[in-house]
Structures are given as structure tokens and as C-alpha cells.
């Protein structure tokens, strides 16, 4: 007798359930839920549903279902999370494409030397310029625009060729070879072509501001690598003016990464030139005025730290310096409140960076760990500056010995494990390690800490044509020697250096116009007669720097821009 197969399956399941009940009567009670679960497992198949790959990046990481609302999904925004958007669609059947940079190498120029230089820039210069952080400008944007914009291509070739020349000179100096034999005119010729193309771009109404700002950024880095800081500052000033003006270009549609990069260069110019006021401290006020509860990634942390660093230097240059160096005392309550708010902000940022560093899901590379360390040292310096900038008493700094020691420890760790080539590049193009170590050496009066900071400064490249590093080191040495001259101790304490003997500011000439002179003048500002007395400037010349300084004819050979662009 034939039976329906379905009836046979049902009957067998009933028999199995009956056996299970019987076994439960002997060994223990069996719940109804167990019966249902046992019955479902036999032959149950999960309903097929295709796996979606179109959700936002944040939901994919969290492994939750995304509602795929554009541009940001509600699953993220309604829970207070940052939606990182959607990954670009790609063909799963095709093989993995080559990186964009590799695809552009063969088409960027017909000239063999330019193609070789571009390849060097892509593989060596761009990673060094980006420093300790991932940056879309150097990883993608500059490579894309080099393919379509002659101005960008020539500027890239100039920077890459100069970087290669500096590396060759560095290796030659280590081997005792005459480095003047390695100089050639290719970097300057490419730089001149880039400037000519930039002039043409500025005269074209339809020019994208992204292209102009990227060219400016490349020119800033080129001049800084040559240590021609005044021309670099001119490019910074004009880039700031372009962002602030809306007559010719629309600054609202600029690539955000470019804006951040110009802001960092604007800040670096302020830190190197003591009286300069940063031009873009509030340009990103819509996004950076409120400190978040956590950082999404290291780039987010760097952007926020840079913005608030620019703001504290703006406050110091426009408000605090008048009370510290001009008319001490009688600080208005509203200015005291602003300084206290800045200090609280940097304490919060320091806590957020600490939390980000110890986040279980934050798997940072060695390069990113160095970047995080630089941010932490920068925030600690800013906290000290905001707490003391309104007061003329240098002894207030003695209460921050723990912060000085932490800054020194971070710098020591970075120097012990950092890439030497990146360090050579960053000493000219970013604050890197110079400013934190110089700050500790000149502002901390504890003999042990400041001497260790000076020792770390000496580990930076000085005999590779980087003249301002050697000048910075000797300026710190002069400052320490002056303050400790009357102590009578080998390693004095803070209490051994009286207020009237302390240096309030230290700096040196030679950033541009003095490039043709053989000596560099160091300035120390003191107040030997107390707070009510007048300021006294102490000057000292340090040794011959003609071997480090770029030739004057090279310094001015490429300053042929239109006056509206260079500010000349």
C-alpha cells in the first residue's frame, strides 16, 4: 500500500516525540518548549535571504541591519552615532582593481624624468608628507588632480624631486661625499612651471578652488622643505585670504580635507612667528565648537585638536599678550573666564585622547600611535599655555612639572621608534617634535627634565641641511645657560632660578630676509627689575650658518608671482 511521503514524515515525528516523552517520564520532566524545539530541528531549513552589502559602514561594523536611508541612515543618527556613509559600489565579479596611484603613473606625463619623479612622490614623498596620520589629500586627491591639472603635476614633481635630492644629500653627507655635487635645477624648473600655471588658474573664472588650494599647499611644502619660510608664509596668507573671501571662489564647496590642511599650515606659521595671529581659528565653528563625548577616529581627533590649538593661539596673540608683556595685572573677569574655559577644553580633550588610546576596538599601527602621542603632547602644552598666558609670572610654570615630564616621555618614545626619513621630512614641514621639545627645554626649570628635552632635540637631523633645527637647539642651550648661570648647581631645581633671572620668550632671526647673512641672532626677553620694571632684550649671535642656509639667488629666483597672489 502506497503512502503519502508527507504522512510518513509526520508519523515519524510523532513517534519520536512520544519516545522523548517516555524518556522524560523516567529521567525527568520535559518541557513543552523542548518538544517544540526538537520537532523544529528535524529537517527545518532557514529561509534564504540574500545578504545585503549596501548598508552604511557604521552598521556593517556594528553588525546590525541598516535602513539604508541616504545620506545618513536613521539607525545611526537617532542613536547619536556618526554615520560614516556608504561604501562605493563595485563589481564583485571583476578582479581587484589596481590602486589609483599606480593606475596614474603611466599616464601622468610623457617625459621619462617627470614620470620617474611622480613615482617617487607617490611611493616616498606622499607618505612622509602625511606624517603620522592618514590623509585623503596625499593618498588620493593629489594623485587624481596630477592626472588632469598641469599646475598640480608640476608642483608634485617639484616637491618629489626636492625630497629625493635631500635624501641623496643626506646619504652623501653620511658617507663624506660633497653634497653640492648632487644639486640640480629640475626641482626649481618644475616649481617655476607650477607657479606659472597657478597664475593662469587665478585668472580663469571657472577654476575650482580645490585645485588652487592644493597647488598652494604643495608650494608651502616645497618652500618649507627648502627652509625658505617667508615665501611659504606668503602662500599660507594667500590661501587663507582665498578661503575668507567669496568674491571669486565659493569657499563653501571646498574639499574639507583641504580646509583642514590649510588650517594646520596657518597654525604652524603662527607657532613659528611669535607675533602672528592665526587666520582661520573659527572657520570650522559650525562643527568644532562643541567637544564630543568621544573621537570617531584619529583624523577626527587631529581636526579638533588643531582647531582648538588655533583658538588658544588666537586668544594669546589678540588678548593675553597685552597683559603678559604690556600692562601686567588688572585682567578683566571675562578674559579670565575665557582662559579658564580654554583650559577646561584641553583637559577634556586630553581625557578623550586617553580614552581613545585605551579603547579595546582601537587597533592603532605604530605610525598612528606616534600621531596620537603628538596630539596628546600638543593638548598638554595648550593646557599649560591657556592656564598661564594671562600672567607675567614665569614661576607659575613650576606647578606643571608632571605635564612637562609626560610631554618629554611621549617625545622620547616617538624618537626611539620613528622612521628616520619621515623625521627628516617633518622637521621642516610640521611641528613634529621640535616645538614640544623646545617648549619643555625653555619653559620647564627643572634641570633634569629640561636637559633630557635638550638631549632629545639633539637627536633631530641637523647636519643634513636643516639649519633651523640646529638654530633651535642652540637657542635652547643659550636660554638654559643664561637662567642657570647664577645657580651654582649642576642640575638645579625650579626654586634655584629666581623670577628676575627667568627668560619669558626666546627666538631667533633668519627665517627669510637674513638668508644671505652668515650669523643668526638669538633674542632673549627678560625682566630683571621685577614685574614693575622694563623689559630687557638680550642678544647673542650663534655660529656661521652659511652652510645650512639656501643661497639667496635660489630663495628669490621663484618669487615671480603676481602681487595679488604672493602679497609682495
Whether 10 shows a pLDDT value over 80: the answer reads no
For residues 531 and 534, which has the higher predicted lDDT (pLDDT)? Answer: 534
Which residues fall within 8 angstroms of residue 292, CB to CB, at 6 or more apart?
304, 352
Q: Helices 209-225 and 150-174 sit at what angle, rounded to 10 degrees?
A: 20
Predicted pLDDT at 562: 34
In whole angstroms, give the CA distance from residue 402 to residue 398: 10
Predicted pLDDT at 430: 56
Whether 554 shows a pLDDT value over 50: the answer reads no
Q: How confident is the model at residue 235 (pLDDT cuts 50, 70, 90)?
A: very high
Whether the model pTM is above 0.85: no
For residues 117 and 32, which has the higher predicted lDDT (pLDDT)? Answer: 117
Whether 145 shows a pLDDT value over 70: the answer reads yes
Whether 449 shows a pLDDT value over 70: the answer reads yes
- Helix H, strand E, coil C: the string for 227-293 is CCHHHHHHHHHHHHHHHHCCCCCCHHHCCHHHHHHHHHHHHHHHHHCCCCCCCCCCCCHHHHCCCCC
Q: How confident is the model at residue 14 (pLDDT cuts 50, 70, 90)?
A: low
Predicted pLDDT at 278: 93
Read off the pLDDT of each residue in 359-369 and give the average, rounded to a whole number.
86
Q: Of 8-22, 71-85, 261-275, which gets the smallest average pLDDT?
A: 8-22
Read off the pLDDT of each residue in 34-55 and give the average, rounded to a whole number.
52
Predicted pLDDT at 553: 38
For residues 560 and 39, which has the higher predicted lDDT (pLDDT)? Answer: 39
Whether 65 shows a pLDDT value over 90: the answer reads no
Q: Of 124-128, 267-271, 357-361, 430-434, which gets the smallest average pLDDT?
A: 430-434
Strongest mean pLDDT among 126-140, 270-284, 339-353: 339-353
For residues 127 and 9, which has the higher predicted lDDT (pLDDT)? Answer: 127
Q: How confident is the model at residue 288 (pLDDT cuts 50, 70, 90)?
A: confident
Which residues fall within 8 angstroms of residue 80, CB to CB, at 6 or more apart?
none
Average pLDDT, the chain: 79
Read off the pLDDT of each residue in 262-280 and give the average, rounded to a whole number.
88
Predicted pLDDT at 87: 67
Read off the pLDDT of each residue in 60-74 and give the average, rounded to a whole number.
80
Cα Rg for the chain, rounded, in angstroms?
A: 31
| Residue 223 CB coordination number (10 Å) | 28
Q: How far is CA 337 from CA 320, 353, 382, 551, 556, in A?
A: 12, 24, 16, 48, 46
In the chain the domains, ranked by start, together with CATH numbers, are: 5-49 (no CATH), 52-86 (4.10.240), 98-235 (no CATH), 283-392 (1.20.58), 393-552 (no CATH)
Predicted pLDDT at 459: 86
Q: Long-range contacts: 136-143, Cβ < 8 Å, 24+?
A: 136/257, 137/214, 137/217, 137/255, 137/257, 137/258, 137/261, 140/100, 141/210, 141/214, 141/255, 141/257, 141/258, 142/214, 142/218, 143/100, 143/101, 143/104
| Residue 552 CB coordination number (10 Å) | 13
Torsion of CA 116, 178, 229, 505, to 10 degrees: 140
Predicted pLDDT at 35: 43
Q: Of 104-113, 136-145, 148-157, 260-269, which gets the smallest average pLDDT?
A: 104-113
Whether 446 shows a pLDDT value over 90: the answer reads yes
Predicted pLDDT at 530: 80
Whether 30 shows a pLDDT value over 90: the answer reads no
Q: How many percent of the chain have pLDDT more than 90? A: 42
Whether 136 shows a pLDDT value over 60: the answer reads yes
Strongest mean pLDDT among 75-89, 346-360, 554-568: 346-360
Q: Of 83-92, 199-208, 317-326, 541-550, which gets the smallest average pLDDT?
A: 541-550
Predicted pLDDT at 173: 61
The H-or-E segment that residue 537 falls in is: strand 536-542
In whole angstroms, give the CA distance from residue 314 to residue 385: 12
Q: How confident is the model at residue 551 (pLDDT cuts 50, 70, 90)?
A: very low
Q: Of 166-180, 317-331, 528-542, which gets the smallest average pLDDT?
A: 166-180
Q: How confident is the model at residue 520 (pLDDT cuts 50, 70, 90)?
A: confident
Read off the pLDDT of each residue in 434-450 and give the average, rounded to a whole number.
96
Whether 11 shows a pLDDT value over 70: the answer reads no
Q: How confident is the model at residue 328 (pLDDT cuts 50, 70, 90)?
A: confident
Q: What is the tens place of the pLDDT at every residue in 473-515? A: 999 999 999 999 988 888 999 999 999 999 999 988 765 544 4
Whether 417 shows a pLDDT value over 80: the answer reads yes
Q: What is the tens place of the pLDDT at every residue in 555-565? A: 333 333 333 33
Amino acid at each position: 500500500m502506497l503512502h503519502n511521503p508527507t504522512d510518513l514524515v509526520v508519523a515519524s515525528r510523532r513517534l519520536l516525540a512520544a519516545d522523548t516523552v517516555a524518556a522524560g517520564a523516567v529521567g525527568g520532566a520535559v518541557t513543552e518548549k523542548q518538544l517544540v524545539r526538537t520537532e523544529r530541528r528535524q529537517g527545518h531549513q532557514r529561509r534564504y535571504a540574500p545578504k545585503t552589502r549596501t548598508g552604511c559602514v557604521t552598521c556593517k561594523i556594528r553588525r546590525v541591519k541598516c535602513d539604508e536611508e541616504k545620506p545618513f541612515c536613521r539607525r545611526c543618527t537617532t542613536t547619536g552615532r556618526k554615520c560614516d556613509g556608504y561604501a562605493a559600489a563595485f563589481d564583485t565579479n571583476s578582479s581587484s582593481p589596481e590602486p589609483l596611484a599606480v593606475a596614474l603613473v603611466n599616464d601622468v606625463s610623457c617625459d621619462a624624468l617627470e614620470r620617474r619623479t611622480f613615482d617617487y612622490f607617490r611611493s616616498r614623498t606622499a607618505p612622509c608628507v602625511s606624517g603620522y596620520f592618514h590623509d585623503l589629500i596625499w593618498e588620493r586627491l593629489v594623485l587624481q588632480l596630477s592626472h588632469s591639472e598641469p599646475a598640480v603635476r608640476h608642483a608634485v614633481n617639484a616637491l618629489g624631486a626636492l625630497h629625493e635630492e635631500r635624501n641623496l644629500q643626506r646619504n652623501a653627507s653620511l658617507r663624506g661625499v660633497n653634497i653640492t655635487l648632487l644639486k640640480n635645477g629640475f626641482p626649481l624648473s618644475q616649481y617655476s612651471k607650477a607657479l606659472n600655471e597657478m597664475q593662469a588658474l587665478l585668472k580663469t573664472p571657472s577654476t575650482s578652488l580645490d585645485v588652487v588650494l592644493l597647488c598652494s599647499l604643495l608650494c608651502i611644502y616645497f618652500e618649507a622643505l627648502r627652509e625658505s619660510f617667508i615665501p611659504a608664509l606668503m602662500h599660507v596668507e594667500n590661501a587663507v585670504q582665498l578661503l575668507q573671501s567669496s568674491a571669486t571662489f565659493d569657499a563653501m564647496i571646498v574639499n574639507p580635507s583641504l580646509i583642514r590642511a590649510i588650517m594646520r599650515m596657518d597654525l604652524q606659521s603662527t607657532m613659528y612667528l611669535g607675533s602672528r595671529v592665526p587666520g582661520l581659528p573659527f572657520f570650522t565653528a559650525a562643527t568644532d565648537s562643541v567637544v564630543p563625548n568621544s573621537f570617531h577616529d584619529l583624523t577626527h581627533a587631529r581636526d579638533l585638536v588643531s582647531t582648538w590649538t588655533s583658538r588658544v593661539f588666537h586668544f594669546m596673540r589678540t588678548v593675553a599678550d597685552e597683559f603678559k608683556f604690556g600692562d601686567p595685572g588688572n585682567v578683566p573677569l571675562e578674559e579670565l573666564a575665557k582662559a579658564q574655559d580654554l583650559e577646561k577644553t584641553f583637559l577634556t580633550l586630553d581625557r578623550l585622547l586617553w580614552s581613545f588610546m585605551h579603547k579595546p576596538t582601537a587597533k592603532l599601527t605604530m605610525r598612528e600611535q606616534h600621531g596620537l602621542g603628538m596630539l596628546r603632547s600638543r593638548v598638554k602644552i595648550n593646557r599649560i599655555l591657556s592656564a598661564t598666558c594671562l600672567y607675567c609670572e614665569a614661576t607659575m610654570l613650576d606647578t606643571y612639572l608632571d605635564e612637562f615630564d609626560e610631554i618629554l616621555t611621549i617625545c622620547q618614545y616617538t624618537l626611539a621608534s620613528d622612521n628616520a626619513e619621515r623625521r627628516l621630512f617633518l622637521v621642516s614641514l610640521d611641528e613634529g617634535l621640535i616645538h614640544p621639545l623646545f617648549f619643555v627645554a625653555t619653559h620647564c626649570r627643572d634641570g633634569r627634565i629640561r636637559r633630557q628635552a635638550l638631549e632629545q632635540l639633539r637627536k633631530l637631523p641637523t647636519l643634513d641641511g636643516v639649519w633651523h633645527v640646529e638654530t633651535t637647539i642652540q637657542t635652547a642651550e643659550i636660554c638654559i645657560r643664561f637662567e642657570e648661570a647664577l645657580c651654582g648647581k649642576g642640575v638645579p631645581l625650579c626654586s634655584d632660578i629666581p623670577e628676575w633671572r627667568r627668560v619669558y620668550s626666546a627666538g631667533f632671526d633668519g627665517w627669510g630676509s637674513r638668508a644671505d647673512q652668515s650669523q643668526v641672532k638669538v633674542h632673549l626677553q627678560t625682566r630683571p627689575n621685577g614685574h614693575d620694571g622694563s623689559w630687557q632684550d638680550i642678544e647673542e649671535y650663534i655660529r656661521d650658518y652659511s652652510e645650512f642656509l639656501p643661497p639667496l639667488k635660489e630663495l628669490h629666483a621663484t618669487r615671480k608671482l603676481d602681487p595679488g597672489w604672493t602679497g609682495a
